[in-house]
Amino acid sequence: RKEVEQDPGPFNVPEGATVAFNCTYSNSASQSFFWYRQDCRKEPKLLMSVYSSGNEDGRFTAQLNRASQYISLLIRDSKLSDSATYLCVVNRHTGNQFYFGTGTSLTVIP
């Protein structure tokens, strides 16, 4: 079983829509969680860390459910510039190894 699993999509949504991505992780020892975005032919860039109590950064909200071992990302009022691949990442502090999902593709349509 993969460490991190994501629905690859693609998600095609109109501008202004709200879209949510989920990600599940297999190892309950995972301790840190992140969402990255990756634009076509670019490197991944940190979007936000995910905290146990959930956190918000502008139009983006991240939540963690440790009991069910999943992480979510909610994007409100989608912009054309949100079109990218969103990567779910978990870190197991023992060994400090990062595990990446394969990414969820989002296209925001005018």
Partner 1 sequence: GAGVSQSPSNKVTEKGKDVELRCDPISGHTALYWYRQSLGQGLEFLIYFQGNSAPDKSGLPSDRFSAERTGGSVSTLTIQRTQQEDSAVYLCASSAVEGRRPQHFGDGTRLSIL
Contact set with partner 1 (CB under 8 A): 31-32, 34, 41-46, 49, 87, 89, 91, 93, 95-98, 100-103
Q: Which long-range contacts (CB under 8 A, 24 or more apart) does 62-66 make?
A: 62/33, 62/35, 64/33, 66/28
Nearer to partner 1, 3 or 17 (CB): 3
**56: which 2 tokens?**
């918000």
Q: What's the rounded Cα separation, in Å, for the pair 98 and 109?
A: 32
The SS3 of residue 89 is: strand
Q: What is the DSSP letter of 83?
A: -
CB of 59 to partner 1, least distance (A): 20
Cα(72)–Cα(7) distance, integer angstroms: 12
Nearest residue (CB) to partner 1, 34 versus 61: 34
In whole angstroms, how close is the CB of 15 to partner 1 at the nearest point? 25
**Minimum separation from the CB atom of position 84 to partner 1 (A):** 14
Of 64 and 89, nearer to partner 1 (C-beta) is: 89
Q: Which is nearer to partner 1, 18 or 89 (CB)?
A: 89
Nearest-approach distance from CB 24 to partner 1, in angstroms: 15
